[in-house]
Homo-oligomer: A and B are copies of this chain.
Amino acid sequence: MKQTKKSETEQLILEAAKKVFIEKGYAGARMQAIADEAQINKAMLHYYYRSKEALFTQILESAVATMSGQILPALQAKGTVMEKLELLVTNYIDTITQNPYIPMFVLNELAQNRLNFQESLMAKMATNDSVEEFMKQIMKEQKAGVLRPIGPHHLMLTVMSLIAFPFIAKPIFTGVMKIPEFMYAQMMEERKQLVMEIIKKSFLK
């Protein structure tokens, strides 16, 4: 007998595909490289996943799930805008620290709009209106005088910038500026507090 849900091989393939796709992007990824990484042969890849596209779709969706899995629950929690953001910032940085390449991967595929990725994401957003709800809450707190009257988009974009970009820019720090990994990890940890300070000082009245 094999498995509870996914066969071990299937898991190996997913792990390998994740690594190769994230490292090289869709076009740069080679099925052979994935097979090698998973220590199986190419025929097995197609036995489990019909095509490169099919495999890629899985990886992309799991990456999106990882990201939105941290963002949406925070927005849905109860509390003030700032309380929600506190949750979001901490969760996001913790999660992405484990998978630093996810933001770059997702945004890159989004930019190239492979397999109509944009539309498929839009569909998911539409069925979940927590983002829209959050925007309304922002405007409400602005009217109540808690938040400064700055476009909600600016607030969201600012938060996203402050937490996502550091991971996208990681190669600049560890590669070009030769800052060691552990120090970068420490910076990310410090960032949780710093980002919230920045947000509060900038958007709270």
Contacts and interface: CB of A to CB of B under 8 A. Distances in A.
Contacts of A65: none
Interface in A18-57: 23-28
A161 B171 contact: no
Interface stretch (A1-9, A74-82, A101-109, A137-145): A101-109
A176 B24 CA distance: 24
Given A161-B162, A166-B161, A202-B201, A110 B171 contact: yes
Contacts of A175: 110, 113, 118, 122
Chain A contact surface mostly: helix
A190 B187 CA distance: 29
A115 interface: no
A79 to B, nearest CB: 23
A24 B27 contact: yes
Contacts of A25: 25, 27-28, 108, 112
A180 B108 CA distance: 20
B104 A108 contact: yes
Contacts of A24: 27, 112
Interface in A147-190: 150-151, 153-154, 157-158, 160-162, 164-166, 168-173, 175-179, 187, 190
Given A158-B162, A202-B201, A171 B111 contact: yes
Nearest to A197: B202
Nearest to A188: B157
Contact of A157 (B121, B125, B169): B169
A151 to B, nearest CB: 7
Q: Which 3 pairs from chain A and chain B are nearest by CB?
A: A27-B28, A161-B165, A27-B27
